[in-house]
Amino acid sequence: MLVALDGPAGAGKSTVARAVAEALGFTYLDTGAMYRCVGLRAAVDPDVDAATLDIRFDGERVLLDGEDVSDTIRTPEAGQVASRIATDPAVREALVTAQRRIIATGDFVAEGRDIGTVVAPDAEVKVWLTASAEERARRREIPVQELTERDERDASRETSPMKPADDAVEVDTTGLAIDEVVARIVGLVGAVR
């Protein structure tokens, strides 16, 4: 079983996906962390082949070629680089392949931009999580303009642009408590189980 959780930066995907996974006993997959890992390598080696990188999750920790990069990948700069390399079709192909391999191993809540549209169009539950740009920028502690620039780059790229799947349920988290959002999504899962 797969819950696909997509949406723009700062919509609350990570927090919600973690909580939904815990409530259901599913494993959480943070696909943004994988793009951030490739970004980290690309910053020092622009020709890096994403398919050769060893990206692993160990509980809450993210390991890149054996090195714990959990904190390094979380800086706003790493987010910007990730968003740039995410426009590269070869990077996307390598990571989508890796993501499909991971989610085939059990029950997952996978969060990203293209889970419901590209990685797993057959996902049993698809959620498109949003919030106002102001609230999302505040949560990310970045200027609204930087956030909207990233949204635009994610939404306008040729390969797998960020967009809701036709059959995704939209959940606007502006002003909602996390518990309310989580309950709503757990309810969607209960309805198809």
Residues of this chain that bind ligand C5P (CB under 6 A): 9, 31-32, 35-36, 79, 82-83, 86, 112-114, 150, 154
Please state whether beta strands 2-6 and 125-130 pair in parallel, antiparallel, or not at all (unpaired): parallel
Query: Minimum Å distance from CB 190 to ligand C5P?
Result: 25
For ligand C5P, the closer of residues 102 and 114 by Cβ is: 114
Q: Which is nearer to ligand C5P, 9 or 50 (CB)?
A: 9
Residue 9 vs 188, nearer CB to ligand C5P: 9
User: What span, in angstroms and rounded, lies between the C-alpha atoms of 98 and 144?
Assistant: 32
| 83 known ligand binder | no
Query: Does residue 175 have a known ligand-binding role?
Result: no
In this complex, which beta carbon is closest to ligand C5P, that of residue 151 or of residue 187?
A: 151
Strand runs (DSSP E) across the chain, as ranges?
Answer: 2-6, 27-30, 55-58, 61-64, 67-68, 108-112, 125-130, 169-172
The verdict on whether residue 97 carries a ligand-binding annotation is no
3-state secondary structure of 170: strand
Pairing of strands 61-64, 67-68: antiparallel
CA distance to 51, 129, 141, per residue, from 46 (Å): 14, 32, 28
- 11 among the known binding-site residues? yes
Is 121 known as a binding-site position? no
| Least CB distance to ligand C5P at residue 21 (A) | 16
Q: Are 69 and 40 in contact (CB under 8 A)?
A: yes
The answer to whether 82 touches 36, Cβ cutoff 8 Å, is yes
Is 14 assigned a ligand-binding role in the annotation? yes
By beta-carbon proximity to ligand C5P, the closer residue of 12 and 32 is: 32
Q: How far is the CB of 83 from ligand C5P (least distance, A)?
A: 4
Q: How far is the CB of 29 from ligand C5P (least distance, A)?
A: 10
Which residue ranges are tagged as binding site? 7-15
Which residue ranges are tagged as binding site for ATP? 7-15
